[in-house]
Amino acid sequence: MTTKEQLAQSPSLQDELRRMQSGEPYDAHTPEMRAWRDEVKKLLHRLNTTEYHCENMAEITREILPNAAPDIYVEPPFYCDYGNLIHTGEKVFINFGCIILDGGGVYIGRKTLIAPGVHIYTAEHPTNADDRDRFEMCRPVRIGERCWIGGDVTICPGVTIGDRCVIGAGSVVVRDIPDDSLAVGNPARIVRKLNG
């Protein structure tokens, strides 16, 4: 039995993971939560230091991202918190240096292209310092099908990006973006409709 399988049997870990995924306040710093993320970091280290394009890359990627389509392609280096909370459709491409904090769940539609340096965050912290010392929360991020997320884009917690959207390089997405939109800037604003 792997360390991860042993950890998965912990009732306190299961309670914190349930809270995290349901958007309730949770404690990310319990020993079990840290140990879970440490196991993911070991897998990420293997992916990020594996000989480029070796046969093991796909196997390691599947171990990190068990809920992604089998044909997902991830260019190392890649970083995430949990991995199993990233869900993708077919033919998703994630380029170099992406960071996905997936505690609240990240859902990426088929044929979406993620450019280098994209950051996707589901974790957020209370603005009140006393609350921030005790807990954090998560909100899911959803990205539609056939999108192109440009280089160094940041997608904030709770955002939904519709199908066939283009998000311009360097944008910070803090609000939902409807289908067929080109959005750019900080904060990202829709500049025109696409595909119609």
**Phi, psi (deg, nearest 5) at residue 152:** 60, 25
Q: Which of 43, 93, 35 is nearest to 68 (CA)?
A: 93
Catalytic residue positions? Answer: 125
- In the sheet that 160-161 helps form, which strands lie side by side, from edge to edge? 86-88, 106-108, 141-143, 160-161
- Residues 10-26 as b/e (b if ≥16 CB within 10 A, e otherwise) read beebeebbebbbebeeb
**Using CA atoms, how far apart are residues 39 and 21, in angstroms rounded to an integer?**
19
Task: Please report how the helices 31-49 and 11-21 are oriented relative to each other, as an axis angle in degrees rounded to 10.
Answer: 70
Token pair for residue 55?
């046969």
